[in-house]
Amino acid sequence: MMNVKNRAILFLIGLVSFSCTQQNDSRQTAQSESQEPTAFAKGDKVTNDNFIGTVWLNYLAETDTVHNVNIGSVTFEPGARTNWHSHKGGQILLVTEGKGLYQERGKPVETIEKGDVVKCPPNIEHWHGATPAESMTHIAIGTNTNIGGAVWLKPVSDEEYNAP
C-alpha cells in the first residue's frame, strides 16, 4: 500500500508531466499558426500581356464613387514581374510576403521584402515583381483612380530584370 508521501510525489510528477505536454501543444499550435497561408487568397491567375511569368491577382476593393482606390493582393512566382507602367494617380505597394524587385525608370533596381512600403509617384514609369529565386506578394493600392488608372508599357527585358 502506498503512503501519503508517495502519492503526493506521484501526483506532482503527473501534474508536471501534464503541464509540459500542454506547453508543447501550445508551442506546436503557435508554430502551425505562424505557418498559416497569407491573409488573402491568391485569387486568379493573370492571363494578360501586362505581366511576365506566373502572377496571381485577388481584387480586394475596386474603385467606386466614394473610394478612389483599387486594392489587390498580387502574388508573383519566382521570375515573374509586371511590364513597365505608370499610374496617373500613383500607387502604393505593401509587401506582405517574400522578396521582390522594384525599379523606377532611370534608377537602379531595388530589393523589396516583407514589411516594406513603396510609394510609386504619379506618372513615373516603374515595374515590380519577384526575384529570380523567391516569390513575392504585395498589396497594390492604386490611388486617386478618379484621375486615371495604370498606363501599361513594354515588357521588362531580361537584361533590365537581371541588372545589378
For residue 38, pLDDT over 70 is answered with no
Q: What is the DSSP string of 118-159?
A: EEE-TT--EEEEE-SSS-EEEEEEEE-GGG--EEE-PPPPHH
Q: How far apart are CA 41 and CA 38, in angstroms?
A: 7
Within a 13 Å sphere around the CA of 33, how many CA atoms are in the beta-carbon half?
6
% of the chain with per-residue pLDDT over 90:
67
The Cα–Cα gap between 73 and 77 comes to: 13
d(CA 31, CA 77): 25
Q: CA-CA distances (angstroms) from residue 134 to 23, 54, 97, 125, 144?
A: 34, 12, 10, 24, 31
Question: Cell numbers of 6, please?
Answer: 508517495
Percent over 70 (pLDDT), the chain: 76
- Alpha-carbon distance of 154 to 147, in angstroms, equals 22
CA distance 21 to 32: 16
Query: At residue 64, does pLDDT exceed 60?
Result: yes
pLDDT at 27 over 60: no
Q: Please answer whether residues 91 and 142 qualify as being in contact, where contact means their C-beta atoms are separated by less than 8 angstroms.
A: yes
Is residue 16 pLDDT above 50, yes or no?
no
Name the residue with higher pLDDT: 97 or 164.
97
Q: What tens digit of pLDDT does each residue of 123-160 get?
A: 999 999 999 999 999 999 999 999 999 999 999 999 99
Residue 4 pLDDT more than 50?
no
